[in-house]
Amino acid sequence: MVAYRKTLPDDRRHLLEQYEPVHLARKIVGVGSVGMRTWILLLLGRDDQDPLFLQFKEAQASVLEPFAGKSGFADHGKRVVEGQRLMQAASDIFLGWERTSQGIAGECHDFYARQLWDWKLSPDIEIMPPNEMTIYGEMCGWALARAHARSGDRIAISAYLGNGEAFDRALAEFASTYADQNERDYQALVVAVKGGRVKAETGI
């Protein structure tokens, strides 16, 4: 906690210092983070009715390193945090990082920390009418474009995209082709499971 606190801005550090850690539990995370070490830390403020939950999630080397070279950050937790702060208009106020100096299972591990939020919401696109899907797609595109503009050369990006529809059409064609490839991949997996080449559980 001491090392993690030092990665926070002064005002957030002052707020966090009003809480004391009382319990720790390991958390099983989703598909995109399978195998990552993740911990949930419960802290209490003035009393039992003033809880704060923090999540410490392992940060490993970027999958882009073999192609783009090693990160300029020695700590992968810091790399993730700095990336989020750069791309997000408003990041979690307790976003920070920490390295286990003595290691887990004899190895050092990097982590990034943030508040544990349990109100994630994902729209059900399967039942969206076309007009709502259009609005939703525009919102997602706007958020992604803003992130790229914050982290990249917005002038160069704008010049590359231009004022025409060439990029829009190319992106739509790629998305459609990629969706078709996903369908083919899934059907190949179904055949492999039925043939016994791959073992799978449906989870139902």
Kindly provide the b/e burial profile for residues 92-101, where b requires at least 16 CB atoms within 10 angstroms of the residue's own CB.
Answer: bebbbbbbbe
Q: How far apart are CA 184 and CA 49, in angstroms?
A: 51
Q: What is the pLDDT averaged over residues 155-162?
A: 90
Q: What is the pLDDT averaged over residues 19-37?
A: 84
Structure confidence at residue 134 (pLDDT) = 93
Residue where a domain stops, chosen among 93, 115, 137: 115
Residue where a domain stops, chosen among 115, 140, 170: 115
Question: Has residue 43 been placed in a domain?
Answer: yes
36 close to 58: Cβ distance less than 8 angstroms: yes
Question: Has residue 200 been placed in a domain?
Answer: no
Specify whether 52 is located in the same domain as 76: yes
Structure confidence at residue 154 (pLDDT) = 87
pLDDT digits (tens, 9 = 90+) for 63-74: 889 998 998 888
Q: Report the percentage of the chain scoring pLDDT > 70.
A: 94
Specify whether 131 is located in the same domain as 99: no
Question: Has residue 134 been placed in a domain?
Answer: yes
Specify whether 108 is located in the same domain as 129: no
Specify whether 104 is located in the same domain as 12: yes
Specify whether 13 is located in the same domain as 109: yes
Residue 154 is part of which domain span? 125-194
User: What's the whole-model pTM score?
Assistant: 0.72
Question: Has residue 63 been placed in a domain?
Answer: yes
Question: Has residue 201 been placed in a domain?
Answer: no
Structural domain count of the chain: 2
Question: Has residue 202 been placed in a domain?
Answer: no
pLDDT band (50, 70, 90) for residue 152: confident
For all residues of the chain together, what is the average pLDDT?
Answer: 89
54 close to 113: Cβ distance less than 8 angstroms: yes
33 close to 57: Cβ distance less than 8 angstroms: yes
Specify whether 42 is located in the same domain as 20: yes
Structure confidence at residue 103 (pLDDT) = 63
Structure confidence at residue 118 (pLDDT) = 66
Residue where a domain stops, chosen among 76, 93, 115: 115
- Reading across the β-sheet that carries 96-104, which strands appear in turn? 20-26, 38-44, 51-58, 107-115, 96-104
Specify whether 99 is located in the same domain as 166: no
Specify whether 87 is located in the same domain as 7: yes
pLDDT digits (tens, 9 = 90+) for 161-184: 899 999 989 999 999 999 999 999
Specify whether 142 is located in the same domain as 176: yes
Specify whether 102 is located in the same domain as 183: no
19 close to 45: Cβ distance less than 8 angstroms: yes
